[in-house]
């Protein structure tokens, strides 16, 4: 197997060719909408989130609107995403902080984003990369966690430790969309239960291919 940095550069090149339009599939029209959508996507499919957010954002158009909504009302609207009580609580609290401390605008710094209730590094990285085009890290979701282990990029299980391993070998210029490349590949080929190894474009660079 080739050295990690040389191998990852080949993997990225191949995946870019396979998924030239790789980006977040969460529908959003602003950094705030992406923030809310990403919070809702925890333990939920992006497809499900995209079904409820158009109506949600039509009724509540700004952080101020979300800051003043009753939690019970918001819970009903996001119930289908799962963990709706905690999500509603965090969305309202984060909206209040955005209004009260950040002038009604989503901050574009990692430390300020992660200070918001319900926002960990994964969510912050997605907002920073997709809305602000800032590379401060690599979002580690279930797909990235799974593929990082299979491809041999990290032996860790903790998302923060996986991210640390990835940023050491992935060129910084690729941090912005590395998550989306692995997500696309994870959804199409490298699924959790039945990966389609024979159809995999990076099987020659993957230590788990065929196993």
pLDDT value for 5: 83
pLDDT value for 12: 97
- Please give the backbone phi and psi of residue 114, each rounded to the nearest 5 degrees, phi first: -75, -5
pLDDT value for 3: 59
- Please give the backbone phi and psi of residue 122, each rounded to the nearest 5 degrees, phi first: -60, -50
23 has catalytic annotation: no
Q: Identify the active-site residue in 87, 97, 141, 177.
A: 141
pTM of the model as a whole: 0.92
Region of 104 please: left (phi>0), alpha (psi -120 to 50) or beta.
left
Specify whether the CB–CB gap between 179 and 126 falls below 8 A.
yes
Q: Which residues of the chain have pLDDT under 70?
A: 1-3
Q: Identify the active-site residue in 122, 174, 177, 184.
A: 122
pLDDT value for 1: 47
Under DSSP, the state recorded for 83 is S
Select from 131, 112, 114, 134 the least CA-distant residue to 122: 114
Domain 4-23+137-205: assigned CATH number: 1.10.1670.10
Task: Show me where the domains of the chain are located.
Answer: 4-23+137-205, 31-131
**3-class secondary structure, 33:** helix
Give the separation between CA 86 and CA 30, rounded to whole angstroms. 23
pLDDT value for 2: 54
Q: Does domain 31-131 sit in CATH 1.10.340.30?
A: yes
122 has catalytic annotation: yes
Angle of CA points 17, 136, 61, to nearest 5°: 90
């Amino acid at each position: 197997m080739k050295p990690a940095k040389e191998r990852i550069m080949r993997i990225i090149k191949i995946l870019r060719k396979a998924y030239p339009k790789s980006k977040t599939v969460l529908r959003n029209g602003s950094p705030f909408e992406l923030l809310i959508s990403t919070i809702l996507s925890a333990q939920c499919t992006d497809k499900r989130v995209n079904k409820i957010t158009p109506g949600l954002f039509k009724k509540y158009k700004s952080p101020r609107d979300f800051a003043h909504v009753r939690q019970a009302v918001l819970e009903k609207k996001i119930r289908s995403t799962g963990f709706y009580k905690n999500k509603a609580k965090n969305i309202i609290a984060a909206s209040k902080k955005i209004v009260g401390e950040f002038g009604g605008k989503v901050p574009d710094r990692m430390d300020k984003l992660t200070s918001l209730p319900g926002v960990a590094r994964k969510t912050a990285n997605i907002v920073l990369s997709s809305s602000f085009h800032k590379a401060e890290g690599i979002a580690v979701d279930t797909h990235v966690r799974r593929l990082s282990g299979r491809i041999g990029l990290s032996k860790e299980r903790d998302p923060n430790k996986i991210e640390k391993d990835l940023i050491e070998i992935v060129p910084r210029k690729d941090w912005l969309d590395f998550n989306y490349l692995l997500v696309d590949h994870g959804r199409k080929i490298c699924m959790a239960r039945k990966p389609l190894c024979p159809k995999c474009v990076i099987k020659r660079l993957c230590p788990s291919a065929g196993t």
